[in-house]
Chains A and B, each alone.
Chain A
Amino acid sequence: MSLSLAVSSTGPRAQAGGFLGLLGVAGRRVFFALAVVAILLIFIGPVAILLLTSVRPPSGVYYIWRGWEFTLDNFAEVLAQPVVLHSMWNSFVLSSIATVASLGVTVGSGYMLSRFTGPIQRSWFGIIYVFRTVPYISWVLPLYLVTTNLGIYDTYLGLLLPHVAVHVCFFSWIMKGFFDSISPSMEHAALIDGCTRWGAFRRVALPSAMPGIAALAILSWLWTWNEFLFGLILTAQRTPVITVTMAQFVTETGTEWHLMSATAVLAMLPALLITIFGQKYVVRGLRM
């Protein structure tokens, strides 16, 4: 369906000449089919390799296209390691709390940026802008010092605060975009219909922005779940997170690809479920 649409929509342009014009109708169809296959391979290839590796025995990981030995032992082995489940739980708790906490700030911040102008809004906008433009890798070392000095290194709080900060900086913009797309006259109508300013926000603006907020919730959750760098620098034994645990299969004696892959597949599952069920909202969020 989408393929034929793509062909027909480019048809008139193709007829005007150029490379596509030389191909003819059948040629264009083949060309687009090949292009789609190539794009799919780019995205699906790594995931397919990961899945295959996770079900091969240790001896088969370097030659996944050879041999027919498949096993689920890798999964049993990683699940038998307490640190894996512990990390997954930590990541789950962190992602969930970070999402709820950051949305609380992001919704207010996005609404303020969308609806009000003044020195406070301009300063806030400036701060967010600066933090957005600075590569976040450059925050990590100062954050290490801050968390150790505050005594929150390797705790939930020590990891949560930087995550919330990043969410607020990155997602306030998206939230602003959502509120921008909601006509302020709807809130004006609510003011006239008997609401206070807060009431107009809570009863009209907020419910209208719900699809956007849902998209952001999913994006925030996935961002924290997949985040590696903060986890690596700001945690140790007490509060491991799944991305860092996964990387620890690279040992001095070699890389245990089969175990790493099995852990990665396990780590993919929640993200996959969320993406499948929240796809509609995520697409909307990513489009903004």
Chain B
Amino acid sequence: MAEVILKDVCKTYGSLHVVKDVSLHIQDREFLVLVGPSGCGKSTTLRMVAGLEGISTGTIQIGSTVVNDLPPKDRDIAMVFQNYALYQHMTVYDNLAFGLRNRKVSEDKIKQEVMRATEILGLGPLLGRKPQQLSGGQQQRVALGRCIVRHPQVFLFDEPLSNLDAKLRAQMRVELKRLRERVETTSIYVTHDQVEAMTLGDRVVVMKDGCIQQVGTPLDIYNRPKNRFVASFIGAPAMNFLPVDIVQKGDFFHAEAQDFSIRLPPQRAAIFARTNRRPVTLGVRPEQVCFGPCPAGHETAFSAPVEVTEQLGAEMVIGVRAGDTLMMASRIAPEAPIAVHDHVPLWLDPRGLHFFDRESEEAIN
């Protein structure tokens, strides 16, 4: 077990800057998730930690060792790949034992370790099979087993669940979470799925275009996104963005767009003194767009025509026209009497209002 420190790490291919000045301090036993859209440099960052990609500039340290020039085999890491990367010509047992055999561990000890992993992951009946005789979920479990038999300092996960179908993915996510509790090892997990990021990570790193956008706990990232990109990437359904003008009317500030106006809560007034009349983007999560009359004390009511309704059984999601934007509202009671073209009363939960500078797209706090 060890901490992992990335200091100003860059990766360039010719003139292409894939990873730009990434600095991270991953604590011992921490589970860190790198999340971002494809091409954001998250996998490249992980592969640099693994030693599968060279580092253009910067340093990577695992434990007390700078590993920039160490080959992967000497970094004491284990990695789970998106396509499992099991050795097709070996049985499950040999797949699990391969790393230990390379390290000249005795066969007795290997057997003991393989059995331990087998017990944790429920691989018992599969030990004699070849990878092509296993389902995707089973293969991924073998890949996990291959990591835990070695007791490495760091686990690296490169989108391990993306090849599985939705149901199996949810199931494996739970298994991973359980595994985390049994095997406490520093882990770096790369995914493009924000649900995995939110559910698995102690901390989440959101990346875009090779740069870190924000580092924080899942709730931090969700509740206090630093910029519009983070706000839009994390959360499903995605946050609504509405270009508004901030207008002062008497003692109060209003956020206004065409056919849309709400009075903003006084506790946010301080920031609007600075941003008065500046064009900003209002961000509000669908679950904070509420249906019904506005409770007393909140002045964020508005009404809008319904354009789409999505019945999900447990809740209803509706899309209403607000200015030029189709604003989604979730968490609406499934039996609510709402039909397309209805003009419905809505209000915004003031705790969930985010404002972003329309030019820099940074959050205004």
Query: Do chains A and B stick together as partners?
Result: yes
Interface residues, chain A, with chain B CB atoms under 8 Å away: 182-183, 185-186, 188-196, 199, 204, 207-208, 210
Per the bound structure, the CA–CA distance linking A196 and B88 in Å amounts to 19
User: Could you give, for residues 87-111 of chain B, a 1 whenever the CB lies within 8 Å of some chain A CB and a 0 otherwise?
Assistant: 1110000000011001100000000
Residue of A nearest to B90 (CB): A207
B79 lies within 8 A of chain A by Cβ = yes
Per the bound structure, the CA–CA distance linking A194 and B51 in Å amounts to 12
Q: Is the Cβ of A186 less than 8 Å from the Cβ of B73?
A: no
Q: Is the Cβ of A194 less than 8 Å from the Cβ of B87?
A: no
Q: Is the Cβ of A192 less than 8 Å from the Cβ of B79?
A: yes
Number of interface residues of B (CB under 8 A): 24
Residues of A within 8 A of B99 (CB): 192-194
Per the bound structure, the CA–CA distance linking A207 and B91 in Å amounts to 13
Residues of B within 8 A of A196 (CB): 71, 73
CB distance from B153 to the nearest CB of A (A): 12
- Out of B78, B83, B98, name the residue touching A183 (CB < 8 Å): B83
Q: List 17 A-B contacts (CB under 8 A).
A: A183-B85, A185-B81, A186-B88, A188-B52, A188-B85, A189-B79, A189-B146, A191-B51, A191-B72, A192-B77, A192-B99, A193-B73, A193-B78, A193-B102, A194-B99, A194-B103, A199-B102
B50 lies within 8 A of chain A by Cβ = yes
Per the bound structure, the CA–CA distance linking A27 and B83 in Å amounts to 48
* Contacts known (A204-B87, A210-B89); A192 close to B78, Cβ less than 8 A: yes
CB distance from B76 to the nearest CB of A (A): 10
Per the bound structure, the CA–CA distance linking A182 and B132 in Å amounts to 13
- Out of A192, A194, A208, name the residue touching B89 (CB < 8 Å): A208
CB-contacts of B27-67 with A (<8 A): 50-52
Residue of A nearest to B77 (CB): A192
Residues of B within 8 A of A189 (CB): 79, 81, 85-87, 146
CB distance from B127 to the nearest CB of A (A): 18
* Contacts known (A195-B102, A196-B73); A190 close to B81, Cβ less than 8 A: no
- Out of B75, B82, B87, B103, name the residue touching A186 (CB < 8 Å): B87
Interface residues, chain B, with chain A CB atoms under 8 Å away: 50-52, 71-73, 75, 77-79, 81-83, 85-89, 98-99, 102-103, 146, 150
- Out of A188, A191, A195, A208, name the residue touching B88 (CB < 8 Å): A208
Residues of A within 8 A of B103 (CB): 194
Per the bound structure, the CA–CA distance linking A162 and B124 in Å amounts to 54
CB distance from A77 to the nearest CB of B (A): 49
Residue of A nearest to B84 (CB): A185
CB distance from A201 to the nearest CB of B (A): 13
Residues of B within 8 A of A188 (CB): 50, 52, 72, 79, 81, 85
Closest 3 CB pairs of A and B: A194-B102, A193-B99, A185-B85
Q: Is the Cβ of B73 less than 8 Å from the Cβ of A194?
A: yes
- Out of B73, B86, B87, name the residue touching A191 (CB < 8 Å): B73
CB distance from B118 to the nearest CB of A (A): 18
Per the bound structure, the CA–CA distance linking A191 and B78 in Å amounts to 10
